[in-house]
Structure formats: C-alpha cells, structure tokens
Chains A and B, each alone.
Chain A
C-alpha cells in the first residue's frame, strides 16, 4: 500500500463505505420510513382540504394546517440519525469493525469516509423528502387560502433547503454518537433525547435564558437559517442566518470530532 497515491487510498475507502451502506437492509428501511413521511403529510393535507371544503366560514377562520414540510423534516431527522448510528454500531455488533480497521488502519480516514457517505445520503434524502412533502401538500391544498399555505413557492425555498440541511446535521450527530457509545440502543436513545426531549425541556426553562437554549436546538435552527422572524407562535428568532449556520456546523464539528477522538484512542 506504501507506494499508492493518497487520493487513491481515500477514494478506495469512500467506495467501500458506499458499498457497505448500499448493501445493508437497514438503509432501505430507514429511507422507506422517511419517504412514508411524504405520504403521511399528503394524508394530513388531504384531510385538511376535505375539512376546509365542508367547513363554515366561521370554523374556517379558526382552522390551521401547520406547514407539513418542517414536520416531515423533523421525522426525517430521526430516520437519518438512526442511519448514522447504524453505519458504525452495526459494525461493532457484528465484529465487522475489526475487518474495517484492519483494512483501513488510518482510522480517521475510515471515519471521514463514513461521515462523507452518511452526510451525502442524508443531505440528498433530507432535501428530497422535505421538498416532496412541500410540493405534494401544496398540490393537494391547491388554491384553498389556508393560513400558512398562500405564500409564493419561491419564498418557501430557503426554509425547505434549511430543513434538508438539518437532516444531514442530525445524521452526522447519529454517526458521532454511535461511534462514541458503540451501542445501537444507547445511541438511538440519545438521539431521541436530543431530537424530542430537549425541545420540550427547553420550553420549561426560565424565560431569561430558556429561549436561547431553544434557539440553538436543531428543531429551531432551520427557520432561523432561513431568516424567519418567528420560530413558533411563542418565540421570536434569536439567531441570524449566519449564526444558525455556525451552530449547525458546531454540532457537526463536536459530533465528528468526538467520534474521531473515540475511534482513534480505543481498541476496536
């Protein structure tokens, strides 16, 4: 291996990781669940459209269909984070990791290749799911003037792009947690805590600093990255788009950096 071009080496590692992710069943299950989110959103929109058509003018005033794309983006965050976890923990549970580390003794190269593959898959599928959700829902709602559903499509693009990006960030957090914890169950439960429990805990924090905690959570970063003025009816945005992007980058840096330290220091 000594005489080889280092870029060939990395290309080989990347190709092997790409082959691994394509050849395990869980990848397809995860992607299918994320895609099923589009159908769920379509169902929600279809139901809302039916309600709208049958409702009186008064009940129409009170009716809100929350934007579906963030909801499905939030679901896709979990799905792809699980993929990120499995990419490394499945190797630990089957013992494959020893073969991998023997074949690629430069562990950081191995991790970088895994991060690149998982990140690319998550970015593409995250964007695809979020955009598909938006366009399918919008198509079902059609011309009905529902609140949140009348703005021009072009004004929604930054938010959709941001949600897709957050899916990639979550996938890399999953990879980092999987590498550090080495246990599928522990890593997935930690992902769920970050994904679900922290936003709820943040709602109960003191008003002086609780909103700042909320603002840096991944469920709230996409709207801030897209420059929205409000996060939810209860909270205004606190971060500029650039700051939101920096916080996202910090999540990735901590997750992948922590993983690099853990993988480099410990025996496989």
Chain B
C-alpha cells in the first residue's frame, strides 16, 4: 500500500494540471484580497447611516466555490487523466488489486484537498482581515477562533467536492462529463432549488452542496452567493434546516455515493 501511495503521490506531483489547479487557487486568494479592498473602499465611501446595509458575506466564503471547483477538477483529472492517456492500463498491471489503486488515489486527493483548502481558507481570512482592518463590515469581523468552525466546515466541503470529482471521474471516465456533472451539482441544481416554491426551496436547498458548510458550522446561514441572484434578484439564502450532524451526514452521503460508484465502476469494468 505504501508503494501504491507513493506512486500516486508521484503521479499527482508530476502532471502539469495539478500546478495549474493550484495556481488558480492562488489567484482565488488574491481575488479575496481584491474583494476585501473593494468592500473596504465601499465602506469608506458610504455615509455612516448607509453602512452595514448589505447582507453579511465573509470574503473567504465568496471565493469558496472557486476553491471547491478547482479541487473537484483535480479529483476528476487524477482518474480521467489516466484514462485519457492510457496510463490506466499500466497502472492496473502494476497494481492488479483495483480497489487498492482507487483507495490510494482517494487518500492522495483527500490529503491534497484538505491541505490546500485549509491553507487557502486561512490565507483568505487573514488577507481580508488585514485589508479590512477595524472596519466592522458585516460578516467580516470575526476573529480567527470565532471564524474557525466555518473555515473547517469549508475545508471539509472542499474535501467532499474533491472526492465527488474523483468518483465521477472513475464512473464517467470522461474529463468533460465529470467536470460538467460537478458543475451541475455545485451550481445548476442549487440554482433550481432556490427557485422552488416556499417550503421546498428550503428543504431541497438545505441538502445542496453550497448550503452544507454553513449548516455544518451552525453559522445560521446557507449558501452566501449564487448566480440565482442574477435571475431572481437579491441574494437567496439557500436552505438551513439541517443540524451540524445532519449536514455532516449529507456531506458524507455525497462522498460515499461517489466513492461507492467509483469502486463498483473500477472493479467491474475493463480498463
């Protein structure tokens, strides 16, 4: 197993796409800094009475979907990259126990996703607080210990997305198909959920991926940003009906569904 892990780690380190994905995450961190400076600029330009009117939105939460998408794409490529080039045949000859190969990929992707997400979320929090300074902008005033639960929950959500990406990659074997499916889960379905009639918007919205970190951290809010705002106006809150334990279970459900599907696909089908 150590050997398989080492080979998967080497593979991840030696493909260019890994560094491009990480580069995009770094751009996301810089974007968070820009967003924070824009928020601070807006704050200074407003009359005191008009301040604090916008809905609270931590800057790092606004960039979270980008980080989620990046690591999901990394998870997809770890599998579909091998199918695209044919390396998968060599990999399976070297490691005939296919589930061992899958779990090694899962371990490497999970460790990378958790590390990258943790570093990126903390970097975005620190950068945005440095830029915003002492201005009490709603959603951006919590100190690191207070913000920690939501940061951790966000990191866990990135892990879930990376595993969903990996699982979809193994099931669909197509980079395009898997990435589009991730986008559907992360963006399109939640947008539909927000547009459902009243009780169902919250019910379905609560189990959508963007709403889960907030519920896991019990921060009392669902998703903070959605393109649904472009269609429906305003900033739909997403659902927030789940307890932290419930949110964790739903997250685990997404990851488990993807990985079980991947395990079945990789052990049943010819490479």
Q: Residues on A close to B: CB < 8 A?
A: 26, 29, 33, 40, 44, 47-48, 50-51, 59, 63-66, 70-71, 74-75, 78-79, 82, 85-86, 93, 183-186, 188-189, 192, 196-197, 199-201, 203-206, 219-220, 232-234
Residue of B nearest to A49 (CB): B197
Classify the secondary structure of A's interface with B.
Answer: helix
**Given A63, A74, A184, A196, which contacts B175 in the complex, CB threshold below 8 Å?**
A184
| Distance, CA A189 to CA B74, complexed state (A) | 11
**Known interface pairs A192-B69, A205-B38. Does A232 touch B231 (Cβ–Cβ under 8 Å)?**
yes
* Contact A65 B195, beta carbon cutoff 8 Å: yes
| Distance, CA A186 to CA B19, complexed state (A) | 12
**Given A82, A86, A204, which contacts B35 in the complex, CB threshold below 8 Å?**
A204
Residue of B nearest to A189 (CB): B73
| Distance, CA A85 to CA B197, complexed state (A) | 35
In the complex, B271 has a CB within 8 A of chain A: no
Residues of A within 8 A of B77 (CB): 185
* Contact A71 B84, beta carbon cutoff 8 Å: no
Report how many residues on chain B are interfacial, defined by Cβ distance under 8 Å.
42
* Contact A48 B179, beta carbon cutoff 8 Å: no
CB A62 to nearest CB in B, in angstroms, measures 9
Classify the secondary structure of B's interface with A.
Answer: helix
* Contact B234 A29, beta carbon cutoff 8 Å: no
CB A18 to nearest CB in B, in angstroms, measures 21
| Distance, CA A64 to CA B229, complexed state (A) | 14
| Distance, CA A205 to CA B41, complexed state (A) | 11
Residue of A nearest to B17 (CB): A185
* Contact A189 B179, beta carbon cutoff 8 Å: yes
| Distance, CA A234 to CA B187, complexed state (A) | 21
**Known interface pairs A85-B176, A86-B176, A204-B62. Does A63 touch B197 (Cβ–Cβ under 8 Å)?**
yes
Residues of B within 8 A of A205 (CB): 38
| Distance, CA A33 to CA B234, complexed state (A) | 28
* Contact B227 A188, beta carbon cutoff 8 Å: no
* Contact B231 A71, beta carbon cutoff 8 Å: yes
* Contact A66 B195, beta carbon cutoff 8 Å: yes
